[in-house]
Amino acid sequence: MDAVHPGLVPMHKVNFDAKSEYEMIQNYKVLQDVFNKLKITKHIEVNKLVKARPLDNLEFMQWMKRYCDSVNGGVLNSYNALERRENCKGGKEANKRAAPAQVSSKSSTVASKVHPLHNTRRNEGNPTNGSQKPPKPASAAAGQAYDEKITELKLFVDSLEKERDFYFAKLRDIEILCQSPEIEQLPIVGAIQKILYATEDDPSVVAEAQAMLAQQNQQLPLSPIPEKLEEQPKQDTQKRKNISTLEVDMAAHTTLSPRQRLSDVSDVHYCGSPLTNC
């Protein structure tokens, strides 16, 4: 992270010689602060990493490598790790321990160069050795162009992976909905599942699903509901006629005068009374 984002990591807070879990946790806190500044949402599982388990640490380092490559294309032009390490706690001691190993490696390379000198002198007369030319190094501009192209392709791959995960989640939601007991027996659900579970990219799958729906519609029995719907308006019309007739009779009765009402009552004869003769 210090190489990718120079000056952002407080190296004086890093303990390069951390051995206990407490010291390692402090280093991961420094790294988490850097993630927060860069607005990186990666969660650091400190409890697993401090246990020094190979798989957990390998997974985290792979993510770190992928992030660094997406930022600088995997190229570090001028970064002196030994110099930056000296700013850490225990960094100088670590550099001193690494120095003897570097000296021994240099001495082995020098010894390997001394022996081929005799062979080169013997083969001076051989014209085939002189005809070989060293390969020309690639220009810096071409290397920079390749690095930019690689970074662009990696970002494009990341966007494709995000789009793939998005649509996969949508299809998974549809599958869960189709498995609901309330609707799993519907013909349309069976057609959707046939398309979801198709193992090959066959355009005839959609036609087969449509044929399933058409066959289910033909097998459904005719419903008697329309006949009832035709009878219902007739019954409603007859009820309205009866109500209107009753309202007219009531209105006519209320418009009569009291004398007319008494005359109507006098017209009524009661049979069986000793005062009247039927």
CATH top-level class for 11-97? mainly alpha
Q: Report d(CA 163, CA 138) in Å as an integer.
A: 37
Helix residue ranges, H only, the chain: 21-38, 46-49, 54-72, 81-85, 91-122, 127-131, 140-178, 187-196, 204-219, 225-254, 258-266
Q: Report d(CA 88, CA 90) in Å as an integer.
A: 6
pLDDT digits (tens, 9 = 90+) for 145-192: 888 889 889 999 988 999 999 998 898 899 899 989 898 889 888 889
- Counting residues of the chain whose pLDDT is more than 90, the rounded percentage is 3
Non-local CB neighbours of 8 within 8 Å, separated by 6+ positions? 1, 2, 34, 37, 38
Q: What is the pLDDT of residue 269?
A: 46
Tell which wins on pLDDT, 268 or 174: 174
How is the chain split into domains, by residue range? Answer: 11-97, 152-219
Q: What is the pLDDT of residue 28?
A: 87
- Residue 204 pLDDT > 50, yes or no? yes
Q: What is the pLDDT of residue 98?
A: 65
pLDDT digits (tens, 9 = 90+) for 110-149: 445 544 544 554 555 454 544 555 555 557 778 888 888 8
Q: What is the pLDDT of residue 49?
A: 86
Tell which wins on pLDDT, 129 or 2: 2
Q: List 15's β-bridge partners, or say none.
A: 89
Q: List 89's β-bridge partners, or say none.
A: 15
Whether the model clears a pTM of 0.85, i.e. scores above it, the answer is no
Q: What is the pLDDT of residue 157?
A: 92
Q: Report d(CA 15, CA 12) in Å as an integer.
A: 8
pLDDT band at 265 (very low <50, low <70, confident <90, very high): very low
Q: What is the pLDDT of residue 254?
A: 56
- The CATH code belonging to domain 152-219 is 1.20.5.1430
Q: Report d(CA 201, CA 210) in Å as an integer.
A: 17
Torsion of CA 10, 13, 19, 21, to 10 degrees: -90
Count of beta carbons in the 10 Å neighbourhood of residue 91: 21
pLDDT digits (tens, 9 = 90+) for 47-66: 888 888 888 888 888 888 88
Which residue type is seen at 9? V
